[in-house]
Amino acid sequence: MAPIKVTKICCIGAGYVGGPTCAVIALRCPHITVTIVDLNQDRVDAWNSEDFKLPIYEPGLEDVVRQARGRNLFFSTDVDKGIKEADLIFVSVNTPTKKTGVGAGFGADLHYVELATRRIAAVADSSKIVVEKSTVPCRTAESMRTILEANSKNHCRFDILSNPEFLAEGTAISDLFKPDRVLIGSLQTEEGLEACRALADVYANWVPQERILTVGLWSSELSKLAANAMLAQRISSINALSAICEATGANIDEVAHAVGCDSRVGPKFLKASVGFGGSCFQKDILNLVYLSESLHLPEVAAYWRQVVEMNEYQKRRFSKRVVDTLFNTITGKRIAVLGFAFKADTGDTRESASITLIRDFVAERANVHVYDPKVEEEQIWMDLTEAMPQLPAETIKKQVTLCSSALEACKDAEAVVIATEWKEFTLIDWETVYANMKKPAFVFDGRLLVDAKKLKEIGFKVTVIGRGNGL
């Protein structure tokens, strides 16, 4: 068969993955035209905005978009045109956990993937390589192929590839510039391997050959779920140990360092925290749990489910420690929560531990003062109303105040809770914070961020995750 050369790429879905990933492809491959399409007009308008007020915050992203937009990078709501013109199409739509029906609460909602696939089938009038970029359950490519083949016109060929994305938010651009690996899964047929080579050639414009891994379709799909499950499992493991540290007087940072020095374990992803958040860890593990159950592997399902349960326990445990320490009641007390994003360097709040903490504090009838350097106010209100459906919005607004700086949030507070590891929280002037707080002044560090000894010297009562009360 004739070699395929990719010259036009379309990406369906201009979100946290589709946007940065395809912007970097456009930057690194000036000879390829990249069009990112989305049904969401506001999102596309933001990507196209003259002042580069992009819909997502990601360090380095604006620079990439500034260089490539209008040259060979385009954003549009014309999904059909994007599909028609492309020879390779990334499907990078959302795959949230199902809310209702079979598999509710566990399985992936593949509705958006299916709609995008059906759209490709409906409008494509020439052969395409269709690439699953979204994280999907094992064997989703088969369903996509069935839909495409059943609807294909003009004898169009569709080759399906799996090319999961491993970027982390906050470091997306550097992850994309220098990925640990690019994974491409294909059918092991002549056509499948040729499609795989064509996509590998795109990445080869900037990724060293040895980092481009080519495997079977099902291995590729499963590897993405496995990677996220194993990363989250490390956090739940260290968080489980943090509870033992608090009860025994061991120090979780010292334990993590000692364990991570073993080259077989490695030092990364062993930072104890108030719990992992983000749009994917929980969703992908639940997806793996559902897959295991469907395959009649209940022990495997129970094993992975425990990673999520431990995370829920960690968040609950932390809120309880706040209440217990504040003399068993926080009713009417002012609590400053520093950080609303699920991690530093992103404005994303999906599954953020901060939401759970604030919900718990509001349930205890505390007055919560929140500050985050990047998250939009509107987003915070949306997340809190969704997290507390039983409370009228006015009640939430009575108990929660949004602040424009850490100092403002901490003023007159009885306790400060650090929920996100923003760098600016390491630079807080704690002397001033202390002077402006009610006494005794408490600090609860859910991110191992503060110098506990120094804060104690100032006069704070300090509680740190993974350390006993004696610190």
Ligand X SMILES: O=C(O)[C@H]1O[C@H](OP(=O)(O)OP(=O)(O)OC[C@H]2O[C@@H](n3ccc(=O)[nH]c3=O)[C@H](O)[C@@H]2O)[C@H](O)[C@@H](O)[C@@H]1O
471 annotated as belonging to a binding site for a ligand: no
CB of 229 to ligand X, least distance (A): 10
Q: Is 82:43 a contact under the CB 8 Å cutoff?
A: no
Question: Which residues contact ligand NAI (rule: CB under 6 A)?
Answer: 12-18, 37-40, 43, 79, 92-95, 112, 115-116, 134-135, 165, 167, 169, 279-280
Q: x-or-dash pattern for ligand X, window 324-363, by CB under 6 A?
A: ------------------xx--------------------
403, amino acid identity: C
13 annotated as belonging to a binding site for a ligand: yes
Query: How far apart, in whole angstroms, are the C-alpha atoms of residue 283 and residue 98?
Result: 9
- The single residue of 11, 22, 29, 280 carrying the catalytic annotation is 280
261 belongs to the catalytic site: no
284 annotated as belonging to a binding site for a ligand: no
Q: Which two tokens stand for residue 60?
A: 């380095």
271 annotated as belonging to a binding site for a ligand: yes
Instruction: Give the phi and the psi of residue 334 in degrees, each rounded to 5.
Output: -90, 120
CA angle 221, 9, 280 (to 5 degrees): 35
228 annotated as belonging to a binding site for a ligand: yes
Half-sphere exposure of 137 (CA within 13 A, CB side): 24
39 binds, among ligand X, ligand NAI, none (CB under 5 to 8 A by kind): ligand NAI
Q: What three-state secondary structure class fits 439?
A: coil
Of the residues 11, 225, 270, 437, which one makes contact with ligand X according to CB under 6 A: 270
273 binds, among ligand NAI, ligand X, none (CB under 5 to 8 A by kind): ligand X
- 269 is a contact residue toward ligand X (CB under 6 A): yes
Strand partners, 183: 213
The Cβ of residue 308 has, within 10 Å, a number of other Cβ atoms equal to: 20
Residues 153-212 that bind ligand X (CB under 6 A): 165-169
Query: How far apart, in whole angstroms, are the C-alpha atoms of residue 73 and residue 62?
Result: 13
Q: What is the DSSP string of 164-221?
A: -----TTSHHHHHHS-S-EEEEE-SSHHHHHHHHHHHHHHTTTS-GGGEEEEEHHHHH
The Cβ of residue 315 has, within 10 Å, a number of other Cβ atoms equal to: 24
- 251 is a contact residue toward ligand X (CB under 6 A): no
CB of 163 to ligand NAI, least distance (A): 11
116 binds, among ligand NAI, ligand X, none (CB under 5 to 8 A by kind): ligand NAI
Query: How far apart, in whole angstroms, are the C-alpha atoms of residue 243 and residue 229?
Result: 21
235 binds, among ligand X, ligand NAI, none (CB under 5 to 8 A by kind): ligand X
Is 103 or 466 the residue whose CB approaches ligand NAI more closely? Answer: 103
- 233 is a contact residue toward ligand X (CB under 6 A): no
246 annotated as belonging to a binding site for a ligand: no
C-alpha dist (Å) from residue 384 to 354, 375, 378:
10, 13, 10
Strand partners, 463: 444
343 binds, among ligand NAI, ligand X, none (CB under 5 to 8 A by kind): ligand X
- 213 is a contact residue toward ligand X (CB under 6 A): no
Show binding-site residues for NAD(+).
Answer: 13-18, 38, 43, 93-97, 134-135, 169, 280-283, 350
Binding stretches for ligand X (CB under 6 A): 135, 165-169, 228, 231, 235, 269-271, 273, 276-281, 342-343
* Catalytic (active-site) positions: 280
